[in-house]
Chains A and B, each alone.
Chain A
Amino acid sequence: MTSTDATPAIVPSFDSEVGPGRKLAIICSKGSLDMAYPGLILANAALGEGAEVHLFFTFWGFDMINKKTMGDLKFTMLGNTATHMPQGLGGLPGMTGMATSKLKKSIADLDVPEVPEFLEQIVASGGHLWACRMSADMNKLTMEDLYDEVEDIISASDFIEKTEGAQLLFI
């Protein structure tokens, strides 16, 4: 069917590098816009490489799956020396709003979706979303309050059990 040449055809070995056996667990513990993206981008990339991916939202990371806040995460210059701006500026009224809309624009320019749409894409790619039991209890939140695609509210030990053998990222 292929060639009669003696040299074998060069064909990518898609299934040998990262097989369906690779598993990645990502713990999202931050609720600011800039810290929400690393987990989402890595989850999406891992799914695209055929890995099984589980995200666990805990503490401030709950803001990423709370229907009330998930579309409105913010970015602040305060306490973030990587902006290379005088720290005092960050405390001025309106600065967080301005920094947030600037960051949102840069992200949108790269055609990277906003947090709710990104979660939708991750779920469509086969990713699993889990909410932390203790964070839900502390904030008196139930499944009703959370993004519809969150599979369940589970304890930390349930998550560890579900992700046995996985590589783990804490963000």
Chain B
Amino acid sequence: MPVTTLNGHEIHVSEEGFLTDPTEWDEGLASTLATQIGITLTDEHWNVIRFLRKDFEEVGETPTLRRVSTVGGIPIKTLFGLFPQKPAKKMAYVAGLPKPVGCV
């Protein structure tokens, strides 16, 4: 696995750039990751990121958009607004988690 350095954080990432070790993530890194993909984090983004981290910890899998909306209570439309074009991948990236594997 490649190692990359972002804002002083040395992190292990997949070939695409997703963190492979969720424990290397912290909230400071999240802001850096977001900046890398052109997103400035607001409270609403943080709501999503904290849900993703919590759900991953409990389930062991990155939640899909549907799960963030049905379990996390954040509407899909909002997710597309916060993380435009590819919300599922973008929010997983910022949260330091693998890409979601679910189809729906």
Contacts from A to B (Cβ < 8 Å): 1-3, 5, 7, 9-12, 14-15, 18, 20, 41, 44-45, 48-50, 110-113, 118, 121, 124-126
Contacts and interface: CB of A to CB of B under 8 A. Distances in A.
A49 to B, nearest CB: 6
Interface string B67-104: 10110000111001000111111100100000000111
Given A1-B7, A2-B6, A48-B65, A12 B17 contact: yes
Given A44-B104, A48-B87, A121-B76, A10 B66 contact: no
Contacts of A12: 16-18, 37, 89, 93
Interface residues of B, number: 36
B8 A49 contact: no
A154 B50 CA distance: 43
B37 A3 contact: no
Contacts of A111: 64, 66-67, 70, 102, 104
B104 A110 contact: yes
A44 B66 CA distance: 10
B37 A14 contact: yes
B4 interface: yes
B35 interface: yes
Nearest to A47: B80
Contacts of B4: 3, 7, 9-10
5 contacts: A9-B6, A12-B17, A14-B37, A50-B85, A124-B77
A48 B37 CA distance: 16
A11 B37 CA distance: 8
Contact of A20 (B8, B65, B80, B85): B85
Contact of B13 (A10, A49, A113, A125): A10
A49 B35 CA distance: 20
A1 B64 CA distance: 31
Interface string B1-42: 010111110000101111000000000000010011100000
A10 B93 CA distance: 12
B83 to A, nearest CB: 9
